[in-house]
Copies of this chain bind each other. A is one copy, B any other.
Amino acid sequence: MDKAAHNIYPVNELVRKRWSPRAFSEKPVEEEKLNSLFEAARWAPSAFNEQPWRFIVGRKGNEVYDKIMQSLVEWNRQWAGRAPVLVLNLARKTFSHNNKPNGVALYDLGQAVAFMILEAVNQGLISHEMSGFDAGEAARLLEIPESFQAVSVTAFGYYGDPDALPRDMYESETGKRQRKNPGEIVFGAGGRPVV
């Protein structure tokens, strides 16, 4: 299914083609494609070059995958279990050089994951991020040290059959994408955000 951005101004093809499908095929993801996803993440910028991002990779059939699945909210469990790869995205809470709280750790993790999901487009893969999971449960099941925060889960894989989705998900899958207008998010001289 093509749900390319209905963009107003020109943008690069990776951004234009990316969206967040739920209709995953069960086709596995090649190891070399996964390598390219994490390679993209590596080159994201970060404050003090801290690179606070960490990724725990579950592949369908292994224990890590099952534990990530177990931490998802019910709604996400309904579709995510078809995806061949689930990645738990973690942020290191403090800076390595002084152990002080890193106020942009989540922000920088977001950048790294954004690089990954655009590289996924480059690799012919689809991705869908979830914040709907129990971070505490994930931390417990995967023995994540206190110094890291589990922030999101990304499903990666190939596009499958939208007709296999439950009805409400099918509607979201095939519906029009919604975005704020530029004027609602960009403010210039004298402007300030009020939305």
Chain A 149-160 against B: per-residue CB contact (8 Å), 1 yes, 0 no? 001100000000
Residue from A41, A43, A47, A195 whose CB has the most chain B CB atoms within 10 Å: A43
Give CA–CA (A47, B73) in the complex, Å: 14
Interface band, chain A: 35 or more
State in angstroms the CA–CA spacing of A180 and B96 once bound together: 13
- Decide if A192 touches B142 in the complex (CB within 8 Å): yes
Taking CB atoms, residues of chain B closer than 8 Å to A7 are 39, 42-43
Write 20 A-B pairs (CB below 8 A) sorted by A numbering: A8-B39, A9-B32, A11-B36, A12-B122, A14-B14, A14-B118, A42-B179, A42-B182, A45-B129, A51-B179, A51-B180, A54-B186, A56-B193, A64-B191, A92-B193, A103-B131, A107-B109, A109-B110, A112-B114, A145-B193
